[in-house]
Chain A
Amino acid sequence: MDALLIDRLQFAFTISFHYLFPQLTMGLALLIVILKYFAIKKKNEHYNNSARFWAKILGINFVVGVVTGIPMEFQFGTNWAKFSTFAGGVIGQTLAMEGLFAFFLESSFLGLFLFGEKKLGQKGHFITAILIFIGSWLSGYFIIATGAWMQHPVGYAFAPDGSVYLTSFWQLLLNSWALSQYAHNMVGAVVTSAFVMMSIGAYYLLVKRDVEYGKTFIRVGLITGVVSSIIMLFPTGDLESKNVAKHQPIKLAAMEGLFKTTNGADLVLFGVPNMEKLQIDYSIHIPKLLSFLTYYDFDAEVKGLDAFPRDQLPDNIPLIFYSYHIMISLGMLFIGVTLLSAYLLWKKKLFDARWALWILLISFPLPYIANTAGWITAEVGRQPWLVYGLMRTSEGISPTVSASSALFSLIGFISIYIILGILFLMLVVRVIKKGPEHSGKLHSH
């Protein structure tokens, strides 16, 4: 294996593993603010206990997010030195701002939020919950603005040595790509937390313990779940694909499995990309829908992969096609599951419908899969570019780091993260087993 492949594998592995945690942190931070708001508004300890219960899970989740996040910043330098030399003058801005404006805020107030409820009083505690929410969502913005510049570089110029430098701070910060991707991504984080909350609520109802908490979790999770699942598709998902169509037609063609430029292109619902014959086998498709969805015109021309030079095509088109279709299918499923559950809740049947509770219980991994698949589509779809149109991935790696050094660190990260994942699950299961009723007593020694 060559260094390029290992560097890519390591970044892909560490970022995919890392993002499992922030997506729950960001979503839960919002849901905890909501629970805390009810607790104060209704002067009801029930909501306070619920908030404390979820704060415990947030605490464990946050730690794993922090420790897996630090290697991300380091890797820009360790594994992607040429890229850092090339683009550091631009994306260094947003990365440094993330540290200054988000990390400090989160880390300073998390301890106070988790353990300082008595000291702070209810209003103070509510404010720290809001600060954690703001901090985690700001962090998300800065990192998405960084990634957005790599997808859609703006506000830069070339220096004599071939590197790029910043010419417009506001263009970088308000990159249109970042705005739509941020909206889509944050709603995705809310979907994750809503499904996790519903899942644990369903568990309590199914095993008939902490039933009132179970009902609260399902209500709060379900209402945010319905809203966020729908916003996921429209307008944020729609906006995202319009952006891709406009700026990255190659990625669009790969996502949709469109090999040939077509007037009135069909929308492929399912199929198997055949890279030898350059076609989709076994395809189930809706005529002309892709043209309509992309340009609001059933006969519009959509460029296929054949319209572009071979050396500009991503190196793994089937992966892009599959992950995009997995994301879309799951997104549809989320709308179906949440709408159905909401209907049952409205009819006051949900809490007795064990089959529906079972569905909610086992659905929690799906938003994680959907979010990961979405990011795979976005980032593998960016290939062969590291910075779209400006720098190829193969040009960005560290020139002096050998394949064996990279393999050493990759194996280390995989081993540590597996153990970390097991410990995380173990600790969260313990919190769930202990239950929300006893969350009033904060951590004991």
Chain B
Amino acid sequence: MEILWFIIVSFMLAMYVILDGFDIGVGIIHRLIGKTESERALSIRTIGPVWDGNEVWLLAAGGTLYFAFPKLYASSFSGFYLPLTIVLWLLIMRALGIEFRHQINNSRWKSFWDTSFSISSILLAIFFGAALGNVIRGVPLNQEGYFFLPMWTTFTIVPEAGVLDWFTIIMGLVAFFTLMSHGANYIAMKTVSDIQLRARSIAKKSLWGVLITSVAAIVAISSIRPDFWNNYLESPLGFIFPIIGASGMIGMLIFVNRRKDIKAFISSTIFIGAMLAGTAFSLFPKLLTASTNPPHADYSITVYNAAAHEYGLMVGIVWWILGMILVAGYFIYLYRSFRGKISLSAEENGY
């Protein structure tokens, strides 16, 4: 039962990263891709009707995490107090950038929200990547299962590392480039003419960033957390995730060059999903690894010691499935009614 909920929560978080990931990606390249005010309006309109639904995956994943693994929620949210607080502010700035921009027809107003949208998207990508980096690296959990991290200390991985150190910054850059190319693929798929050309060129260039930072991250992980690969060695079937991830990467390289925008976007989706699944696979059963290493004790938070009681988890399965069927229906309807290209001339959509 706990394992099932571990998969469900991982699935919901991955859905968040994939779906809101392209919104964030659009934000990252927003100022690069939109040279004029109306081009930037177009850039926002590609995500206008869907971004809010995409962001709900974060809330729903958070709620589900809270429900299934309350101890993990309590420990990680209080431990990452400072970065999460900043993430909240960034989410506010991003949402306002998208939703307030079109309210007033004034170039300074629009320019302000354009900047707000892109800066908050850039920082969100880096923070989310760094967050994953923290989970992989481990945090100084105490006996009661709590910790607190400063934003940074010396940027080296000492026992008292901060949220940001060289490793988590690399992970932040992985997320930055990955979502950048994901967003560029999305825009290339949804637009035509100049913007589409620019998006393709960004997608091409950012792939190098993805490649270099990913290799650096894998090398770094192997050096600071050699046990990261234990699960793979024990059950080699797990190698399917990195293999799928690598094929997503290759797909991106091929399709971006051949201007197959939809296939390139599917490839970046596969890349992100497989990499996250691979990470979840290697972390299991640990949810949050303790970097503190007292003799004869491991304070790590695991799927087993953080899970809620059996009855609640059983009930949850029923409504979760019901809810997901509804959500699938909403999203299919939403994306269907919003399918197709968006061009500068079509003004009927409010964004």
Whole-angstrom CA separation of A141 from B72 in the bound complex: 26
Question: Which residues from chain B contact A167 at a C-beta distance below 8 Å?
Answer: 311
Residues from chain B with Cβ under 8 Å of A70 in the complex:
59, 88, 91-92
Out of B48, B70, B95, B148, name the residue touching A401 (CB < 8 Å).
Answer: B148
A399: nearest residue on chain B (CB-CB)?
A: B146
- A169 contacts across to B, CB distance below 8 A: 312, 315
Main secondary structure of the interface of B (DSSP, over half): helix
Query: What chain A residues lie within 8 Å of B70 (beta carbons)?
Result: 84-85, 87-89, 92, 163
Residue of A nearest to B60 (CB): A99
Q: Say yes or no: A99 contacts B63, CB within 8 Å.
A: yes
**Contact digits for B316-351, partner A, Cβ 8 Å, 1 yes 0 no:** 100110011011001101100100000000011111
Mask of B48-81 contacts with A, CB within 8 angstroms, 1/0: 1110110110011011101110110111111111
* B149 shortest CB reach to chain A, Å: 9
Contact for A159 among B66, B309, B323, CB less than 8 A: B309
Check A165–B311 contact: CB distance below 8 A: yes
B-contact bits for A432-445, CB 8 A (1 contact / 0 none): 00000000001111
Q: Residue A318 at the B interface, CB < 8 A?
A: no
Selected contact of B326 from candidates A66, A87, A105, A444, CB within 8 Å: A105
Q: Is the CB of B152 closer than 8 A to any CB of chain A? A: no
C-alpha gap A108/B50 in the complex (Å) = 7
* B60 and A67 within 8 A (CB): no
Identify which of B99-107, B158-166, B283-291 touches chain A. Answer: B99-107
A-B contact pairs, 23 of them (CB 8 A): A67-B95, A74-B88, A77-B78, A88-B71, A88-B308, A96-B316, A100-B320, A100-B323, A103-B60, A104-B56, A105-B330, A107-B55, A108-B330, A109-B334, A111-B49, A111-B52, A115-B348, A119-B337, A165-B312, A399-B146, A420-B96, A443-B102, A444-B105
Q: Does B89 contact A (CB under 8 A)?
A: yes
**CA of A105 to CA of B50, assembled, Å:** 12
Q: Is the CB of A412 within 8 A of B56?
A: no
Closest-by-CB residue of B relative to A88 is B70
CA distance A93 to B60 in the complex (A): 11
Interface pair B62/A99, CB less than 8 Å apart: yes
In contact, A401 and B49 (Cβ under 8 angstroms): no
- For A68, A107, A420, the residue with the greatest tally of chain B CB atoms inside 10 Å of its CB is A107
Among A67, A412, A423, A444: residue with most chain B CB under 10 A: A67
The reply to whether B78 and A401 contact each other, CB–CB distance below 8 Å, is yes
Known: A97-B319, A108-B331. 18 other contacts (CB 8 A): A63-B96, A74-B62, A74-B84, A78-B84, A84-B73, A89-B308, A97-B323, A98-B63, A99-B56, A100-B60, A108-B334, A114-B350, A165-B309, A166-B311, A400-B148, A442-B350, A443-B103, A445-B102
B103 & A95 in contact (Cβ 8 Å cutoff): no
Answer yes or no: B28 CB below 8 A from chain A CBs: no
Instruction: Indicate whether A416 sits within 8 Å of B64 (C-beta atoms), given known contacts A92-B308, A104-B56, A427-B103.
Output: no
A77-B77 contact given A63-B100, A98-B63, CB 8 Å threshold: yes
Question: CB of A71 within 8 A of chain B?
Answer: yes
Are the C-beta atoms of A93 and B49 separated by less than 8 Å? Answer: no
Q: How many residues of A contact B (CB 8 A)?
A: 70
Q: Which residue of B lies closest to A159 (CB)?
A: B309
Check if B64 sits within 8 Å of A96, measured CB to CB: yes
A112 touches B67 (CB 8 A): no
B336 to chain A minimum Cβ distance, whole angstroms, is 11
What separation, in Å, do the CA atoms of A63 and B97 have in the docked complex? 11
**B-side contacts of A11, CB under 8 Å:** none
* A345 vs B29: C-alpha distance when bound (angstroms): 56
Most buried by A among B70, B99, B102, B105: B70
* CB pair B334 A93 closer than 8 Å: no
B234 at the interface (CB under 8 A from A): no
In the assembled complex, which residues on chain A have CB atoms less than 8 Å from the CB atom of B334? 108-109, 111-112
Q: Interface size (B, Cβ < 8 Å)?
A: 71
Q: Does A312 touch B at the CB level, under 8 Å?
A: no
Contact partners of A103 in chain B: CB under 8 A:
56, 59-60
Residue A50 at the chain B interface, CB threshold 8 Å: no
Contact A401 B81, beta carbon cutoff 8 Å: yes
Contacts of A63 in B (CB 8 A): 95-96, 99-100
CA distance A399 to B175 in the complex (A): 31
Give chain A residues whose Cβ lies under 8 Å from the Cβ of B233. none
B→A interface (CB under 8 Å) = 38, 41, 48-50, 52-53, 55-56, 59-60, 62-64, 66-68, 70-71, 73-82, 84-85, 88-89, 91-92, 95-96, 99-100, 102-105, 142, 144-148, 308-309, 311-312, 315-316, 319-320, 323-324, 326-327, 330-331, 333-334, 337, 347-351
Complex-state Cα separation, A90 to B313, whole angstroms: 10
Question: Chain A residues near B80 (CB, 8 Å)?
Answer: 78
How far apart are the CA atoms of A119 and B80 in the complex, in Å? 44
> For residue A283, which residues in chain B have a CB less than 8 angstroms away from its CB?
none
Are A430 and B41 touching (Cβ within 8 A)?
A: no
Name the distance in Å between B53's Cβ and chain A's nearest Cβ: 4
Inter-chain contacts of A405 with B (CB < 8 A): 81-82, 148
Q: Does A153 belong to the interface (CB within 8 Å)?
A: no
Contact A96 B88 (CB under 8 A): no
A348 sits at the interface (CB 8 A): no
Kindly supply a per-residue 1/0 record for chain A positions 148-166, scoring 1 wherever the CB is within 8 Å of any chain B CB and 0 otherwise: 0000000000010001011
- Cβ–Cβ contact B78 & A101, under 8 A: no
B87 to nearest A CB, angstroms? Answer: 8
Q: A63-B96, A427-B100, A445-B38 are in contact. Are A84 and B49 (CB under 8 A)?
A: no
**CA of A23 to CA of B349 in the docked complex: distance in angstroms?**
27
The residue that B330 contacts in the complex, of A109, A119, A159, A443, with Cβ under 8 A, is: A109
Q: Please name all residues of chain B whose beta carbon is closer than 8 Å to the beta carbon of A229 when the two chains form the complex.
A: none
**Smallest Cβ-Cβ distance to A97: which chain B residue:** B319
A73 x B59 contact (CB < 8 A): yes
* The 6 nearest A-B residue pairs measured at CB: A88-B70, A77-B77, A92-B67, A165-B309, A111-B49, A100-B323
Kindly state the separation between the CA atoms of A59 and B102 in the bound complex, as whole angstroms.
Answer: 12
Check A81/B78 contact, CB under 8 A, given A67-B96, A74-B88, A89-B312. Answer: yes
Who on chain A is nearest to B87 by CB? Answer: A74
A87 vs B67: C-alpha distance in the bound complex, in angstroms?
Answer: 9
- B76/A165 in contact, CB under 8 A: no
Contacting residues, chain A, for B88 (C-beta < 8 A): 70-71, 74
**Is the pair A118, B84 in contact by a Cβ cutoff of 8 Å?**
no
Residues of B within 8 A of A236 (CB): none
Question: How far does the Cβ of A164 sit from chain B's closest Cβ, in whole Å?
Answer: 9
Residues of A within 8 A of B59 (CB): 70, 73, 99, 103
Q: Do residues A93 and B312 form an inter-chain contact, with CB atoms below 8 A?
A: yes
Q: Tell yes or no: A79 within 8 A of B by CB.
A: yes
Chain A residues, Cβ within 8 Å of B99: 59-60, 63
CB distance from B228 to the nearest CB of A (A): 26
